[in-house]
Amino acid sequence: MSVSIGLHMPNGFAGANRHGAARIAQLAESLGYESLWTADHVVLPSPRVDPSPLEPEAPLLDVVVSLAFLAAHTERILLATGCVVLPQRDPRVLAKQLASVDVLSGGRLVFGAAAGYLEPELRALGVPMAERGARTDEYLRVIRTLWEDERPAFHGRFADFKDVDAHPRPLQPHVPVVVGGHSPAAHRRAAALADGWYGWMLGLRAAAAQVEAVRAAGPSLHVTVTPARRLDAATIRSYADLGVDRLVVAVPPGLPLADLEAFVERNAPGRLLG
């Protein structure tokens, strides 16, 4: 099976401090995980309301700061945003931050981005829900311009600049971009502006439907899924048969460090894939 295994949310709960984050990252690398995916919520609704995934008191380190820290404590494992809520970030600042992570990590960045879904979070950061898709599309183009164009310039609805540049550029000539989301708009966005697509908490039937829709939008897209079920070799094979290229294991929220270490070891690629 040619399915790689990643780990999601090393920047939360027991990983939301220097000791826990370093320990989990180094353990995951030593066990053969392909990638680490940091979760992103700048603020959370308080009190908690649906569909917020976490209580407002949940400790969650910044998605990009965490990657810089993890880069300093690892050597080989890919470092991914999984996913940045892109419309609530200034794309020019984010492009600089992520390029810095790619440089400091030796070219290990994977840029995952999504439009977001928590209205209270987006509203608190000045983003109308109705604009989040348009902002995401535009901001992806802005970031690519700053990373890859010889003379970066952009004239859009939400960003406008020329006669500027930003160095260092990412070490990778083409940083992999992954778009998250289950809607047709997200599928189209991935096909038009990214290299891959990310589906969150999908069982086999839901994954089958999503992969079919993604392949219709972009046949060559790399497909990443966080499964909504416990993994074993047979289950991994089933996802692979659907066309999934990478499975990212979600860390259960709130585990103390010792239990989190045991979870990471239990789901290690070598143990699951044999």
pLDDT in tens, 166-181: 999 999 999 999 999 9
If one looks up domain 4-273 in CATH, what number appears? Answer: 3.20.20.30
Going from the C-alpha of 131 to that of each of 85, 86, 198, the distances in angstroms are 13, 12, 21
On whether the CB atoms of residues 106 and 62 are closer than 8 A, the answer is no
**Which pLDDT belongs to residue 2?**
87
**Beta strands 177-180; 196-202: pairing state:** parallel
Predicted pLDDT of residue 163: 98
pLDDT in tens for each of the 274 residues of the chain?
589 999 999 999 999 999 999 999 999 999 999 999 999 999 999 999 999 999 999 999 999 999 999 999 999 999 999 999 999 999 999 999 999 999 999 999 999 999 999 999 999 999 999 999 999 999 999 999 999 999 999 999 999 999 999 999 999 999 999 999 999 999 999 999 999 999 999 999 999 999 999 999 999 999 999 999 899 999 999 999 999 999 999 999 999 999 999 999 999 999 998 7
**How many C-beta atoms lie closer than 10 Å to residue 59's C-beta?**
14
How much is the pLDDT for 273?
Answer: 86
Give me the helices (H) in the chain, please. 18-30, 63-72, 91-104, 119-124, 132-148, 184-193, 204-217, 233-242, 257-266, 269-273
How many angstroms separate the CA atoms of 194 and 167, rounded?
22
Q: Please state whether the predicted TM-score (pTM) of the whole model is above 0.85.
A: yes
Summarised one tens digit per residue, pLDDT across range 116-151 is 999 999 999 999 999 999 999 999 999 999 999 999
Mean pLDDT for the chain overall: 97
How many CB atoms sit inside 10 A of residue 18's CB?
Answer: 11
**Residue 107 CB: number of other CB atoms within 10 A?**
13
**Furthest C-alpha separation in the chain:** 54
Domain ranges, ordered by start, for the chain: 4-273
Predicted local distance difference test score (pLDDT) of residue 1: 57
**Helix H or strand E encompassing 226:** strand 222-227
Dihedral (CA of 237, 267, 30, 41) sign? positive
The DSSP bridge partners found for residue 252 are none
225 strand-pairing partners: 199, 247
User: What pLDDT shows up at residue 274?
Assistant: 73
Q: What is the pLDDT of residues 54-69, one digit of tens each?
A: 999 999 999 999 999 9
